[in-house]
Amino acid sequence: MASTKIHIGKFNFENCFMNAAGVYCFDREELEKILNSEAGTFVTKTATLSPRDGNPTPRYQDVPLGSINSMGLPNLGFDYYLEYLLELQKTHPDRTFFFSLVGMSPEDTHTLLKRVQESEFNGLVELNLSCPNVPGKPQIAYDLETTEKLLTEIFSYFKKPLGIKLPPYFDMVHFDQAAAVFNKFPLTFINCVNSIGNGLILDDETVLIKPKDGFGGIGGEYVKPTALANVHAFYKRLNPSIQIIGTGGVLTGRDAFEHILCGASMVQIGTTLHKEGPEAFKRITEELKAIMDEKGYKTIEDFRGKLKYL
């Protein structure tokens, strides 16, 4: 049968699927459910220096075609997740995990990354440059000058494997400009995409979530075409050493197959995981393997990036 094993940098994973930061990753209990599922690994909720309550509720709503959220980075703080990750390194030495984090300021981000650098953490860092939901804080990666400055500073001291979670871009020129910046750095991966920021979904005459008068990040089916475009645009532009994690609109094995055809190595699942729970990993993995078997693909690398044009 087909194998969905994959590597990111020097790390091997038994399955190419994992959760997207924000879903099933707030605390140990949730992370343990992903750990014990069919997923190849997990990423933590984006950690900030201090714990955060996040935005007022209701702040997440599933809808038929996806989800809207304005969580505002609620999390238990950097120390909580680092402690758990270091514990897992001892209990599961054969596995590798992703640590999502970002500071509320560039200074905070440097403090966090310096602490990771000094720690025993030996997994991958996913630096979140794309949260659309913290009032007054822009999505960092839409400002390429700030992003380049931040990455320049980070890579002067940070020597562990690091990737960045990106917002969706919508213009070919922006793909060119963003890729030119990312190619200057020894990034292990980029993750395309975070939610499509600041959408509005209504129920009759009323918004669905409380923060920001209802504006929130859109996930699920709505997002797949945008996510595939971002994965493929960067696949064509980035140095081959920078791998891509595809996130957005993965409901089925077919959706994952498309992400991989567009160039993704790993595939993250957010809205569907929220709707279905961790059993979703088994179903989607089986569906992907069935497609691979039917097409005669034995490994992810047999078809990764091999999207056909007319």
Catalytic residue numbers?
Answer: 131
Q: Which one, 73 or 250, has the nearer CB to ligand SIN?
A: 73
Under 8 Å CB-to-CB from 216, ≥6 apart: which residues?
Answer: 59, 68, 69, 70, 132, 133, 195, 198, 199, 200, 201, 208, 209
Under 8 Å CB-to-CB from 121, ≥6 apart: which residues?
Answer: 82, 85, 86, 89, 99, 160
Q: Which one, 269 or 288, has the nearer CB to ligand SIN?
A: 269
CB of 23 within 8 A of CB of 195? no
What minimum distance in Å lies between the beta carbon of 301 and ligand SIN?
Answer: 29
Q: Which one, 15 or 75, has the nearer CB to ligand SIN?
A: 75
CB of 101 within 8 A of CB of 47? yes
What minimum distance in Å lies between the beta carbon of 272 and ligand SIN?
Answer: 16
CA torsion sign for 84, 90, 94, 96 is positive
Q: Which one, 188 or 247, has the nearer CB to ligand SIN?
A: 247
CB of 272 within 8 A of CB of 250? yes
CB of 67 within 8 A of CB of 61? yes
What minimum distance in Å lies between the beta carbon of 194 and ligand SIN?
Answer: 5
Q: How far is CA 152 from CA 5, 54, 181, in A?
A: 32, 29, 10
Q: Which one, 189 or 257, has the nearer CB to ligand SIN?
A: 189
User: Which residue shows structure tokens 């994959």?
Assistant: 6
What binding mask, one character per residue, do residues 119-148 give for ligand SIN by CB under 6 A, x or -?
Answer: ---------x-xxxx---------------
Does position 208 interact with ligand SIN (CB under 6 A)? The reply is no
What minimum distance in Å lies between the beta carbon of 69 and ligand SIN?
Answer: 6
Q: If residue 227 lies in a helix (H) or strand (E), which one and from where to where?
A: helix 224-237
Does position 72 interact with ligand SIN (CB under 6 A)? The reply is yes
Q: Which of 279, 276, 219, 284 is nearest to 258 (CA)?
A: 284
Does position 103 interact with ligand SIN (CB under 6 A)? The reply is no
Does position 195 interact with ligand SIN (CB under 6 A)? The reply is yes
Does position 217 interact with ligand SIN (CB under 6 A)? The reply is yes
Does position 22 interact with ligand SIN (CB under 6 A)? The reply is yes
Question: How much helix, strand and coil, in percent to the nearest 5, is found in the chain?
Answer: 40, 20, 40
How many residues bind ligand SIN, per CB under 6 A?
Answer: 14
Does position 73 interact with ligand SIN (CB under 6 A)? The reply is yes
Does position 269 interact with ligand SIN (CB under 6 A)? The reply is no
Contact residues for ligand SIN, defined by CB under 6 A? 22, 46, 69, 71-73, 128, 130-133, 194-195, 217
